[in-house]
Structure 1
Amino acid sequence: MSTLTEDAPDTSVGAPPPPRRRRTLAVPRANTIAATLVVLGLFGFGLWSMVELRINVATIVDSVGNAGDFLGRMLPLDFPPIAETAGLIGQTLAVVIAATMLSMVLSAPLAIWAAGNTTRNKATRFGARALIVVCRAIPDVVLAIVLVRVLGLGILPGVLAMGIHSIGMIGKLYADAIEQIDEGPRTAVRATGARRLQQLIGGVFPQVLPAFVATAMHRLDINLRISVLLGFVGVAGIGKEIKNAIERLDYKRAMALALIVLILCVVMELISGAVRKAILGQSVANERRGILGLGRRVIERGSRPVGERRVSPPWTAARVRRLGYAIVAGLVVAVSVVYVLIDFAGGASGNGLWATLGRMFPPGTGGVPTETLMDAMFTTLQVAFAATIIGAILAIPVGLMAARNVSPFPRLAKLFRMFIVVVRGIPELILAIVFVIMIGLGEIAGTFALAIGAIGLLGKLVADSVEEVDSGPEQALRATGATRSQVFFAATLPQALPSFIGNLLYQLDVNIRSATLLGIVGAGGIGYYLLQASRVLEYEAVTLITGMLFAVVMVIELIAIWLRRTAGAKG
């Protein structure tokens, strides 16, 4: 059967010559079948991993008694003195804020070079995209291990590790935002004779600024949770104090510090969501008014037509409030950066970059059999896949109830949204520590930790995907008298299903990285050998393990890209 489709021409007498129709290439059926088989294969591997890891109801029941014993050992919570607590919070926030700002500064030019509408040179675009992918694929904990060795203990290694790794997410989203701009303002700026930099400042930057800030706030929330993990490899802050408390078996102090982290994460999530909502809402208002203010002022400066006066928005209460927020944010960032620099200037005690790199190459096993490392890597994959399956089972119902267009009551949707926020605020590392204490060392603890953590991320993605579907088909079915369930299965679910699959692949990608990192606290997998190699200074093994992780992450990334393209072509 031919894959080309073409309308038959009208050959009747006197008929005008038929227009030449563009021949369209239908999606090869083989690609669709292959994509379906790949998805089913991934799902089957996840189910098989659950069986191999012995994830079952009996395991959960057996851990109930241990949970009671653990609660007895952690209560009452032992909080540090107020002054010490404030110092730890300030130290942790300084690391997180400085790291996020560093990633924003480095990601902006990378995004410009990676975007197709701002960079025509293919080699430059490919190089920028490749660098962004590399930053995303290398775990931040690996960067922290190396930087602690180079720079010594403190907060600067955490800033650099989180900042470099964050480029992988922020740079990609920044580049996507630039490629989706309206070219009208930029064309108008170019028509005045503006140079390339002026075009970026006047025609591109005002449009992407809301998306840039929203992405940075989202990453700030993620980095706060990551900071806890980096404490286990020597980065100063609350995470390091939790590590010290666990090593002393002081669970009362460890869980008290974990509760502080939870409160910080929830507060950060709420602030981040409010800021994103306010900024994106302002962006919509700007678009309705036409060309954005900054672009308009640049055009006026470039052309300056005779008799035209410069337009400036009035100083309303909302504008004054936004300016106040910007000033406060700038001061917080400045204080964080200064704090990091002062800490580094007073305590740098590393061994130097070249000495560390010399011990990392060539890669080696560090005395561990290659088969052992391969088995550990495979176990990490099993944990990630099993956690994704369990997480989907838990997160999809929660996400559906959190969606306003599916939940039967608005208040119920808000309640589930708040539940998602609270779960998202619990770092997976804290969950892993709790499950390791309850269940014991091994892969089951890591699987349960990642599965619970998926409720926060995957539940939010599912809720957002369902709320963003076209409401037209839903309203049409309601007009015919269809029930709520009929509307959902006939109109809502078919539209949201492609997003569901994409979100599951994203959650799998996240779980592979997280499963590696949770091995550091005894949750099994390759992370255990990564931590041991860093502790005994076998840095050639760190390099080898990093290469293995990079290869696995890239394979999953390529599979996800191929599935998304296949689904997009089919649509």
Structure 2
Amino acid sequence: MPVVEERPRVVPAPDPGGEGEQYQARRTLARPTAAGLSAATALLVCVGGGVWAFVALRLNVATLVDSAGNGVDFLSRTVPLDFPPAGELLSLTWQTLAIVISATLLSVVLSVPLALLAARNTTPGRTSRGVSRTVIVLCRAVPEVVFAIAAFRVFGLGGMTGVVALGIHSVGMVGKLYADAFEQIDEGPRTALRATGAGALQQITGAVLPQALPSLVATALHRLDINLRASAVLGFVGVNGLGYALSTAIGTLNYRRAMAVALVLLVLCFVAESVSGAIRRTLLQDVTTTARTSRRARRTEALRLTQLREPEPKRSPAQEAAGAPRTLPRWDAPRLRRATWVVLGLALLVASAWGAGLSWRTLRRGTESFFPTLGDFLPPSTGGITGQLWADLWVTLQIALAGTFIGVVLALPLGALAARNVVGSHRVARFFRTLVLMVRAVPELVLAIVFVVVTGLGAVAGALALGIGSVGLLGKLVADSLEETDPGPARALTATGARRHQVFFGSVLPRAWPAIVGHLLYQLDVNVRSATLLGIVGAGGIGYDLLNAARVLQFPVVTSVVLMVLAVVLLIEGLAVWVRKVYA
């Protein structure tokens, strides 16, 4: 049978010159680049690592079925719930809120100058930007419990330990997002101020900070509810509040009291997340509106700012003699409402500082003992358990990979169902948004405690806790990324008669995929740090070695554990940055 050679189809070309030329029409496909193939390979390795860790830890239906009896027995030991007396419960709740609010305020105060130094448009020097970025990354990479251990050595018992630990750790996230907000401002108003002779500080206070203010407040509120969940961990190192009551109840096997306190903490986290989310959405509407204004509107705003910077025209002697009044803004309802919220906010901050026990005397005493305490942690040492530390670090990485894999499998469909442009129903999207929010309100430490009791000590409990906990954050990020895609291509596909699933896989998901990939790697980064913390309650990994070394005052071992975890976190952080650049 003769072999027929396929030839490219020859069609007549447009012939504007009258020469009757022909060309070969071929379908053009984008050739994969080496960087793209490398990034895809790295992602496949991460996914494969998650599947491998899931199998290696024996996370399957049989494991859950075998633990069902323990779960029923645990539930019988938690009811009826034993809540603390009303006065004690209110006192614990106020202590926790005071510490969390003060810590968030501290992170904002520290992050604003760091972010200004880290942003390209406010700091031209590469050295200053590099140092600031390094400080921000280190604050994010070191777990908050490590800062709490060091702060406990400096300040002792009291709320100051929790405020410093949460505040410094929060700089890692708040500083990064603040720097991004500063870099995304419109340079028009700042250029107008510069044209009037304003200095660098006047440009920052008059143009940079006002434009970024909604994003700054939204980030601070977002960090507030994160710190509220993290406060449960600090109770295990002696910080007062609901976390300390939870750790005391767990230590005495009083599960009725422990679950009652955990329920209070869950409700508190849910309320804080709901309130801060509503405020953030309101504030970010202003940001979106500002970002979508036309160039003419921005030029008008710049001209207005320039006119405001011009000197006030000198009044005539007749006006001065007649005492002509200066015009001031009226105290209308919106201005009065804003002033009321500002006063209430300042009062809450002052009351929180007082409730957390902050004082200049405590700060001065801590400053004097800072360097001696730092010497206790240096130089690093493994304390003769080098092999055990590396083995436990490997288990921690397994827990993080398996937990991320579980979270991805559950969060991707939940996040899609929570996106309004995917499901097409506001009620369905709102229901799944609320479900994701409820899951996110549960601290991973509480989940770890439950799974440790149900499945026993070890890595299985840690992986399950991280898997369920990842659904909250990852589901929200996936839903946001899907909703932020350009609706134009999706409408075009819908107009051709494409069905909803075809529009999703053909338009929405491909455009949101780069952001989703970044979220997956970010979740893995978070889970490595969280897996370290979960070892405190017996969920396996190197966290147990960390807490045990702190209890026996082996602080050089604590430093070694921190450096080992830091190396893994920075490796994942570098991989995430590289993959995002490739897919950008």
What percentage of residue pairs aligned between the two structures are identical? 52
**Aligned counterpart in structure 2 of residue 262 of structure 1, from 263, 266, 271:** 266
* Contact 1:153/1:348 (<8 A) preserved: no
Question: 2:560 matched to which residue of 1?
Answer: 544
Paired residue type of 2:91: G
In the TM superposition, residue 305 of structure 1 has moved relative to its aligned partner by 5.8
* Contact 2:225/2:276 (<8 A) preserved: yes
* Contact 1:225/1:265 (<8 A) preserved: yes
Question: 1:365 matched to which residue of 2?
Answer: 382
* Contact 2:138/2:172 (<8 A) preserved: yes
Cα gap change, 1:528/1:137 in structure 2, threshold over 3 Å: closer, same or farther? same
Cα gap change, 1:286/1:179 in structure 2, threshold over 3 Å: closer, same or farther? closer
Question: 1:356 matched to which residue of 2?
Answer: 373
Cα gap change, 1:85/1:177 in structure 2, threshold over 3 Å: closer, same or farther? same
Alignment of 1:292-441 (within 5 A): 299-300=306-307, 302-304=309-311, 306=313, 315-342=331-358, 352-367=369-384, 369-441=385-457
* Contact 1:151/1:348 (<8 A) preserved: no
Matched, 1:556 2:572: yes
In the TM superposition, residue 417 of structure 1 has moved relative to its aligned partner by 0.7
Distance 1:292 1:464 in 2: 31
* Contact 1:400/1:407 (<8 A) preserved: yes
Paired residue type of 2:70: N
Question: 1:92 matched to which residue of 2?
Answer: 96
Matched, 1:103 2:96: no
Provide TM-score, normalisation by structure 2: 0.89
* Contact 2:149/2:237 (<8 A) preserved: yes
* Contact 1:155/1:343 (<8 A) preserved: no
In the TM superposition, residue 322 of structure 1 has moved relative to its aligned partner by 2.9
How many pairs align? Answer: 544
Question: 2:533 matched to which residue of 1?
Answer: 517
Question: 1:125 matched to which residue of 2?
Answer: 129
Matched, 1:272 2:276: yes
Question: 2:66 matched to which residue of 1?
Answer: 62
Question: 1:230 matched to which residue of 2?
Answer: 234
Query: 140-149 or 313-322, which moves further after superposition?
Result: 313-322
Question: 2:13 matched to which residue of 1?
Answer: none
Structure 1: gaps spanning 5 or more residues: 1-12, 14-25
Distance 1:263 1:439 in 2: 25
Paired residue type of 1:487: V
Bigger radius of gyration among the two: 2
Distance 1:437 1:391 in 2: 21
Distance 1:394 1:414 in 2: 18
Distance 1:426 1:178 in 2: 32
**Aligned counterpart in structure 2 of residue 186 of structure 1, from 156, 167, 190:** 190
Question: 1:23 matched to which residue of 2?
Answer: none
Cα gap change, 1:363/1:314 in structure 2, threshold over 3 Å: closer, same or farther? same
Distance 2:153 2:364 in 1: 11
In the TM superposition, residue 340 of structure 1 has moved relative to its aligned partner by 2.8
* Contact 1:435/1:448 (<8 A) preserved: yes
Query: 120-129 or 353-362, which moves further after superposition?
Result: 353-362
* Contact 1:441/1:523 (<8 A) preserved: yes
Cα gap change, 1:337/1:215 in structure 2, threshold over 3 Å: closer, same or farther? same
Distance 1:417 1:313 in 2: 41
In the TM superposition, residue 412 of structure 1 has moved relative to its aligned partner by 1.1
Distance 1:427 1:75 in 2: 20
* Contact 1:152/1:348 (<8 A) preserved: no
Matched, 1:207 2:214: no
Aligned-partner SS, 1:193? coil
Distance 2:56 2:528 in 1: 17
* Contact 1:154/1:344 (<8 A) preserved: no
Distance 2:301 2:94 in 1: 35
Distance 1:137 1:464 in 2: 25
**CA offsets, 1:324-376, max 9 Å, x none?**
22221111111111233457858999893333222211111124x21110010
Question: 1:163 matched to which residue of 2?
Answer: 167
Cα gap change, 1:118/1:342 in structure 2, threshold over 3 Å: closer, same or farther? closer
Question: 2:544 matched to which residue of 1?
Answer: 528
In the TM superposition, residue 108 of structure 1 has moved relative to its aligned partner by 0.3
Cα gap change, 1:374/1:466 in structure 2, threshold over 3 Å: closer, same or farther? same
Provide TM-score, normalisation by structure 1: 0.90
